[in-house]
Structure 1
Amino acid sequence: MKKIYFILTLLVIYFLPFSVTEASMGRNTLLFVPLDNRPVCLDYAVETMKAAGWNVETPPLEYIAGNDHSGNPDKLYEWLAARSATANAIVISSDALIYGGLVDSRTHQLPQDILTSRAERLLNLKSLGGDPLVYVFTTIMRSPKASSAPVEPAYYAEWGPKLFRMGVLEDKLDLKEISRKERKELSGLKVEIPQAVQEDRARRRSLNIATTELLLHGVESGNFDYLLIGRDDTAPYSQAHKEARKMDILVRELPKEKIRFFSGADQLGLLLLSRAASRVSYEIPMVYVDFAEGKGGETIPAYEDDEIAFSAAEHIHAAGGWPTANLARADLVLAVNTPFDGVTIEASNPKNTGTITEHTEKFVADVKRYLKQGKAVAVADIAYGNGADNALVRKLFEEEVAEKLAAYGGWNTAGNTLGFALGQGLLSKSMDTADLQSLLEIRYLDDWAYQANVRNKTYVELIWPNYWPNSGLNTQQVQEAEAVITKDILEIAEPVLGAKVSCYNFILPWKRMFEVEVSRK
């Protein structure tokens, strides 16, 4: 036992980057520059931190990228420079401070000298005064199978699937795993896809990789206390995977206590905010991970290229925690709902019927057992992509454990879900009951009611029959869609969550169907 305490003490000394004198100043303030103003990147993350008792300051909205405007890197930096001396920690998106935001990182036409100068000034954040912790998160450009403007260059509307396929084959070629037939297919794609399109894609990806490599110097020099690199939508074979393998070689040469590299993008801000809270509070929370039976931790989720067991461990380290195989020592249990066969299909798939299986019953029984032992439990529901497992949510409420969780997540990619559930779960110990319940309700209404059910229903009954776009809805279309969404969420969620559902608003903040913003009236 003495040996264990000694090791833990060494860990605390090793990881805590500033003195007791600084912590005793009691500033309790975090500066946060998000990827953009989407709810999951800004409002949900800030609400989580505030519920846990943290003062989180964010830049004026006009400086942050939105659906109708780019972010302003220069104004964001000026805002940071004026406030750094007041903060315990700075948590920033380099995509926002270099390109303007996540979408801008995929669509910009910025020259290398501007990108370099913006990256270099991030390396000097420590010199702004106050000596705050500096946490930076950045992304490797995604490889979407199909997408279009404004979130990708306009040519993706026509060439997106073939560009993705070309990336798959180039990755296989690089790995020497390509067949003769695939070599011929790759040659054909290089002839078919316009040269200007290929050059634009290659130029931007090359610039972004070079800029990310510059940020690695912040880890080497100590100018960054932590750098978190996320792989936005990827796959086991893809252009993003090819670039990530080469980046991983560089990352491995750096101290692991200063940098992590894994799948996902939208969860990175909350992960680093959670890390900042842990470090400022001199805590290293222990996390026990349990996967559903079947393929479990060996699952490689859709949109990702790592086994979920590896991803979970990396997320825990990034969030400021430490994985433990000893349940008795765990401050949090991260229960991960994986598909039995390891294949994560879309939540909108007709197979997501809500029929409770033995697989579901066993998982919920394990959650109940952890709760009875007095453990805080965060559920990361990744059985489906882009929405919750209807059977799991139904069973959680039937067994009256849904509202006893420390956190729940079931949105977008597995990494998004895992990171958010983990971050909220680690912070839940500092929340009062009302705030914790509100955060849980928002996740059920967003991840389950909307993403797994109402979104596709709205497509089928309103968007597609009227030949409306999936994104770029006009004002009248947005209003009509929001009215339908609100009605349908009330119908599906009130029988489960009760009358409290009517206390929430449901809007489409980016004038598209992909995300809804759930907020208190």
Structure 2
Amino acid sequence: MGKLDKIAFIPLDERPCNYEFPYLLAQGTGIHMARPPMEMMGLKKRPGDTNRLWSWLEEQSMDADGAVISLDTLLYGGIIPSRLHALEHPQVAERLQRLRGLKERNPDLKIFAFQLIMRCPQYSIADEEPDYYADWGREIFRKGLISHRSKLGIATGEELEELSDIERRLPAEILEDYMHRRSVNIGVIRDVLDMIAEGFIDFMIFPQDDSAPYGHTAKDQQKVRAMISELDLELTTYMYPGADEVGCTLLARMINDSKHKVPLVYPRMSAVQGPFVTPLYEDRFFYESLKYQIMAAGGLITSSAEEADLILIVNTPGETMMEAESQKHAFFSYDVYRNIIELVEYGNYMLRHKGKPVAAADVGYANGADQKLVKLLKQKEMLFDLAGYAGWNTSSNTLGTVIAQSMLYLHYGRTSQHLDFLALRYAEDLCYCSVVRMGLNQGEVEAMGLSKFELDGHRGEVSRMVRKRLVQELEERINGGEGRVEITDCYMPWNRTFEVGLSVRYHLSEH
């Protein structure tokens, strides 16, 4: 692909990680990234306006060089609506056919798309699932898992007893609704694969958020993998854990592609066992996902720091991954089976003495940054000299974000937009996810008569309290002689504590 002046972008949903992050990364590149107006997007369980989104995309892609497209948004109205819709296969297939017109009207348009394999969480919470998941989610998950293990001949006697108990209790109409939607979604994936084979999509990712080695999602993966193989699409169609980072990944891939560059990445781990940890919410060893994340963004892993374009210091767990909120009482393995001091010293040496760009993938914990790592990076005055940093949600969400940011850094350098994005990561991944959210969830919102799933609106008292706390945490943990982070906006996008919406600016100190 040659020139890249404009990208038409359809996000996975309206949350900042999907709507804002790729857009923010594109700032400072000289590329115009067009995205639909917020009113066309949905709001959590309310689907986006698919007709208007299609019309917007058709118009914008006429003069675009590339398109980064979430098919879940165009087909179902977003990530959550893809798990809730009552559409039949023919209706969705008809929507999909509009994709052909994009290339027919603009044959030079490069289309990079992604579509999730529907997840199956292992808990009974309906926050992002059909309402009946509040009562039956655990049973739906366990039925899928044990049935899968039974089919493979590895289910235990206890599991089989549990399965017959679930089958006796789980209402047939609920299971039927759930399985029918899964089969519609898989049928549409088959149609998408045909379009890739016909050349209407240039590159495709099927990510899975919240995956596990056995169960409904794992079985669907097997079906999709078989279809990919049957159509000989392995080199243009990837499938691996992730979701909310894919917009960033595909942006990086498109830019690398347009510049005919394949960045070589040398990953340096904090723990010998790190590559062999299976992260929470994922279905495979960490190192296998790392390879996919780097390849999907247009790069490759290299085995030597000498030939690397980028050094990725990777803060993995030493043995088992825990939630970020557990770090006050971290497992013994976090201190003994990994060495983050050596990791930071190595990163600092490569940056200061070898002049190599260094990025930090903070995947020590799920759902938040490692406070010790960020403290060490600050002591070394590395925080704002990094090519990228992330430490949020799942391991793959973090990887895709930091890899995309650091690949753009290789092309465009230390722009003010790059520094702002680093500042956003420290404000959100460390100060919010790893510190402030913990307090909210441990009684503070309940004391206000609210719950962590239902706050007092996008810009209520909670958002004001969060902003105040973040200012304090940034002052203590991030701000220093080099500069300071200013929060210019703070809101609660889905009216719950899980995510925060932030706008920040980084102000370099006048030396």
Q: TM-score, normalised on structure 1?
A: 0.91
Residue 281 (structure 1) aligned to one of 259, 267, 285: 259
Q: Mapping of 1:70-469 within 5 angstroms?
A: 70-146=47-123, 148-253=125-230, 254-341=232-319, 343-351=320-328, 359-371=339-351, 372-429=353-410, 430-469=412-451
Deviation at 1:196, TM superposition (A): 1.4
Is the CA contact 2:4–2:258 (under 8 Å) kept in the aligned structure 1?
no
Q: Give the SS at the match of 1:161.
A: helix
Q: Give the SS at the match of 2:15.
A: coil
Is the CA contact 1:35–1:65 (under 8 Å) kept in the aligned structure 2?
no
Deviation at 1:48, TM superposition (A): 0.5
- Distance in 2, Cα, partners of 1:367 & 1:513: 33
Is the CA contact 1:94–1:137 (under 8 Å) kept in the aligned structure 2?
yes
RMSD: 2.0
Q: Give the SS at the match of 1:329.
A: coil
Q: Percent identity?
A: 32
Q: Give the SS at the match of 1:252.
A: helix
Q: Cα–Cα, structure 1 residues 78 and 147, in superposed 2: closer, same or farther, change >3 Å? A: farther
Is the CA contact 2:69–2:114 (under 8 Å) kept in the aligned structure 1?
yes
Deviation at 1:466, TM superposition (A): 3.9
**Structure 1 spans left out of the alignment, 5+ residues:** 1-17
Q: Which amino acid aligns with 1:234?
A: S
1:13-54 CA deviation, whole Å, 9 max, x = no partner?
A: xxxxx4xxxx3xx55111100011110101121011113332
- Distance in 1, Cα, partners of 2:359 & 2:237: 24
- Distance in 2, Cα, partners of 1:320 & 1:485: 37
- Distance in 2, Cα, partners of 1:404 & 1:356: 26
- Distance in 1, Cα, partners of 2:85 & 2:114: 19
Q: Which amino acid aligns with 2:345?
A: A
1:296-342 CA deviation, whole Å, 9 max, x = no partner?
A: 1111100000111111111111111122213222111222211011x
Q: Cα–Cα, structure 1 residues 264 and 174, in superposed 2: closer, same or farther, change >3 Å? A: farther
Which position in structure 1 is the counterpart of 2:496?
Answer: 512
- Distance in 1, Cα, partners of 2:260 & 2:149: 45
Q: Mapping of 1:32-43 within 5 angstroms?
A: 32-43=9-20
- Distance in 2, Cα, partners of 1:466 & 1:238: 39
1:47-88 CA deviation, whole Å, 9 max, x = no partner?
A: 111133321001121222223731122211111211222111
- Distance in 1, Cα, partners of 2:62 & 2:259: 19
- Distance in 2, Cα, partners of 1:444 & 1:504: 15
Is the CA contact 2:62–2:102 (under 8 Å) kept in the aligned structure 1?
no
Q: Give the SS at the match of 2:188.
A: helix
- Distance in 2, Cα, partners of 1:41 & 1:69: 16
- Distance in 1, Cα, partners of 2:283 & 2:91: 32
- Distance in 1, Cα, partners of 2:107 & 2:350: 42
Which position in structure 2 is the counterpart of 1:7?
Answer: none
Q: Give the SS at the match of 1:464.
A: helix
Q: Cα–Cα, structure 1 residues 464 and 349, in superposed 2: closer, same or farther, change >3 Å? A: farther
1:240-262 CA deviation, whole Å, 9 max, x = no partner?
A: 12221222222234343311110
Is the CA contact 1:504–1:520 (under 8 Å) kept in the aligned structure 2?
yes
Deviation at 1:353, TM superposition (A): 6.4
Which position in structure 1 is the counterpart of 2:509?
Answer: none
Is the CA contact 1:29–1:57 (under 8 Å) kept in the aligned structure 2?
yes
Which stretch of the first structure deviates more once superposed, 161-170 or 217-226?
161-170
Q: Cα–Cα, structure 1 residues 27 and 236, in superposed 2: closer, same or farther, change >3 Å? A: closer
Q: Give the SS at the match of 1:136.
A: strand
Is the CA contact 2:362–2:391 (under 8 Å) kept in the aligned structure 1?
yes
Q: Cα–Cα, structure 1 residues 432 and 381, in superposed 2: closer, same or farther, change >3 Å? A: closer
**Structure 2 spans left out of the alignment, 5+ residues:** 506-511
Q: TM-score, normalised on structure 2?
A: 0.92
Is the CA contact 1:85–1:131 (under 8 Å) kept in the aligned structure 2?
no
Which position in structure 2 is the counterpart of 1:5?
Answer: none
Deviation at 1:150, TM superposition (A): 4.9
1:421-442 CA deviation, whole Å, 9 max, x = no partner?
A: 1011100131444222111110
Q: Give the SS at the match of 2:219.
A: helix
